[in-house]
Chains A and B, each alone.
Chain A
Amino acid sequence: MARLQRSSPAQDGFLLPLSTAASLLLMLSSLSLQAVALQSRSQVIASQRLRQAEDQLMSAAQHLVADPLTVDQLPSRVGEAGQVDSAAYRLVKVEGPSWQEPAEAGAPQRGRAVATLELLASAEQPLPLQAAFALELMRQAAPEGLAPAQLVSLRELGLRGRPAAVGEP
């Protein structure tokens, strides 16, 4: 009887390392799952911030062209700063406008310009962001010459990255 109750030396201490290894495995797997969940959460928050910055840039572009009489003077307004709500912005660059020849005589002439705006750094957005916007223009041919340009569409061309990266090849 006494021989039956005594375990062999090989069996001694077998259960403890096994359960420790199994516990470690369980903890590691659940911790890695938790890390993935936290990462996806922070990605959602980051994308939310980026979208808010895009909204502010779009609002800035709309604010910039809110006066229809100043569309013609846009290239001379480079460097101009403004503010919409709490977001301060600056017009960095204007390319164009380039005008197409009208398809038929008397038809309005269509043109295109690209304006780059910079959202200045703030508490919400620690680094400045830039975005480009395409402006579709139209002007009527009048007997006394061309009428002033009228803006017919404003489209966002997307973020242009950090200002330091802008202009690099």
Chain B
Amino acid sequence: MNLVEILVASVILVISSSCSLQLWASSTNSAEQAERRQHQLGQLEIALLGSQARLAALAAQPVASDCADAASWLVGHLQSQPLGAGLSREVSAEPGAALVRVRISAPEVGERQRWLSPAAYGLCGPTEPITEEQTDATL
């Protein structure tokens, strides 16, 4: 065992340890980030399905005979629903269109959006709409 051998062995060990530590740190960061993203994706899913479940809960209770009117009513209704922390929601309907766009975004994973139709849940159509008092009572 001579000095040169000790020095070379130490250098190899130091370099590999430092590389290894960096890789461990980056893996840990990456795993944490993936977990955070997964959590936020779950939150987005809950928020989106919550909006859809709200429509399903109102099923077969027409709010307007015209689907565009029902869509604009739905925009206000969905906008007032509670939303998880850290998420932002945008509910919009194009004028005269019978579809409502629900867009929910989270800072790290971007956004998810779905178009929802009041007609798919029987909220509009040829049947007589229920009165405003009845609608409020059911909510």
**A→B interface (CB under 8 Å):** 7, 11-16, 18-20, 22-24, 26-27, 29-31, 33-34, 36-38, 40-41, 43-44, 47-48, 51-52, 55, 58-59, 61-63, 65-69, 71, 84-85, 136, 138, 140, 148, 150-155
Contact = CB atoms under 8 A, between A and B. Distances in A.
Could you tell me the dominant secondary structure of chain B's interface residues? helix
A33 B56 CA distance: 45
Interface in B7-25: 8-10, 12-13, 15-17, 19-21, 23-24
A61 B117 CA distance: 9
B34 A37 contact: yes
Contacts of B10: 19
Interface stretch (B78-86, B118-126, B130-138): B118-126
Contact of A151 (B1, B9, B19, B120): B120
B47 interface: no
Among all A-B residue pairs, the 10 with the closest Cβ atoms: A23-B16, A19-B9, A30-B23, A68-B125, A59-B115, A37-B30, A152-B122, A154-B120, A62-B117, A26-B20
A88 to B, nearest CB: 14
Interface in B38-96: 38, 41, 45, 48, 52, 56, 59-60, 67
